[in-house]
Amino acid sequence: MTTTTEAAPPQVVPLEAARKKRRKLTAYWLLLPGIAWLVVFFAIPMVYQGSTSLQTGSLEQGFKLTWHFATYWDALVEYKWHFVRSFSYAAIATVLCLAIGYPLAYTIAFKANQRWRNVILILVIAPFFTSFLIRTLAWKTILSDGGPVVGALNHLHLLALSDAVGLTSGHRVLATPLAVVCGLTYNFLPFMILPLYTSLERIDPRLHEAANDLYARPFTIFRKVTFPISLPGVVAGTLLTFIPASGDYINAQLLGSPSEQMVGNGIQKQFLNVLAYPTAAALSFILMALILGMVTVYMRKAGTEELV
């Protein structure tokens, strides 16, 4: 009696499983360019800067990694008022951008027809077609002692009041904290308006109609319906304004005086003038850590951690 052993049928991978595997691999391949970009232009420079901040030496003798953590403390003590000014100016500029940008974004989203909506949006974006440096130099001309702004403020007797509170000095606007804040507000205003408009434009008009049907007043509709729904846009706009404004140095350099220098000016000085690379790198990391901490606290207080 002979027994025949039948060969087991080959294992066939289901077609659907193979497709899912290919889609998963395709997603990883699509992520690869972005990951490579971040590694080359973000992760590696960060590691290099971190190493630089812990070095000692000079440009003539060379720098060596000695794990000198005291550089961070020395930099923080030396530039503590630069940090105070940076965050103060950035916070004031952010509040002003929100106060100016929210009504404008609200008007674009709900009051303007399609034609005027496009025109206003183009006007909001138009400054981006001009160099950041040129826009700031233009403000230097506008705020000059013989310019129209100073003349109007003098005519209204507002410069004396501004001098009294410390925003200006000597009946002039240029080279004062007010000039730096004005420059920051103007240059970063589009970063506030665009997220606000995007958030407001997505609000369903039927929500306003329902509130009107319930006899809600316009301010109540704004407080109970519009503003809470637009809060993600407010958070995004304030972050997009505050973060770059904190590290800016062009406005303080061109519109301010040495008394209005921000931490960005200190980093520039240490890198390009003093050539103290460890101090400059330490200042950069301190600024990044402080901003990251403030942003984390702000996101938690705003209740929008999911935006991170």
Residue 46 lies in a domain: no
Q: Decide: 71 and 285 in contact? Cβ < 8 Å.
A: no
What CATH number does the domain containing 295 carry? Answer: 1.10.3720.10
Residue pointed to by tokens 């007797």: 157
Q: 223 lies in which domain range?
A: 80-126+176-307
Average the pLDDT over each of 24-28, 34-38, 143-147, 228-232 and give the range with the smallest value: 24-28
Residue 188 lies in a domain: yes
Q: What is the pLDDT of residues 45-94, one digit of tens each?
A: 999 999 999 999 888 888 899 999 999 999 999 999 999 999 999 999 99
How far apart (Å, rounded) are the C-alpha atoms in residues 295 and 202? Answer: 25
Residue 199 lies in a domain: yes
Residue 133 lies in a domain: no
How far apart (Å, rounded) are the C-alpha atoms in residues 83 and 290? Answer: 9
pLDDT given at position 7: 53
Residue 49 lies in a domain: no
* Strand partners of residue 57: 63
Residue 148 lies in a domain: no
Token pair for 280: 């400059």
Which parts of the chain are beta strand (E)?
A: 55-58, 62-65
How far apart (Å, rounded) are the C-alpha atoms in residues 16 and 278? Answer: 56
Q: Which amino acid is at 143?
A: L
Total domain count, the chain: 1
Q: What is the pLDDT of residues 95-138, one digit of tens each?
A: 999 999 999 999 999 888 888 888 988 999 988 888 999 999 99
Q: Is the pLDDT of residue 15 over 80?
A: no
Phi, psi (deg, nearest 5) at residue 54: -105, 15
pLDDT given at position 82: 95
Q: Whole-model pTM?
A: 0.85
Collapsing DSSP to helix, strand or coil, 185 comes out as helix
Half-sphere exposure of 151 (CA within 13 A, CB side): 4
Percentage with pLDDT > 70 across the chain: 93
Residue 229 lies in a domain: yes
Q: Which residues contact 109 (CB under 8 A, 6 or more apart)?
A: 197, 200, 201, 203
Residue 88 lies in a domain: yes
How sure is the predictor about 307, in pLDDT bands with cuts at 50, 70 and 90?
very low
Q: How many angstroms separate the Cα of 220 from the Cα of each of 100, 103, 216, 227, 269?
A: 21, 16, 6, 10, 51
Q: Quick one: which H or E segment has residue 58? A: strand 55-58
CA-based nearest residue to 233, from 97, 125, 122, 119: 97
**Mean pLDDT over all residues of the chain?**
87
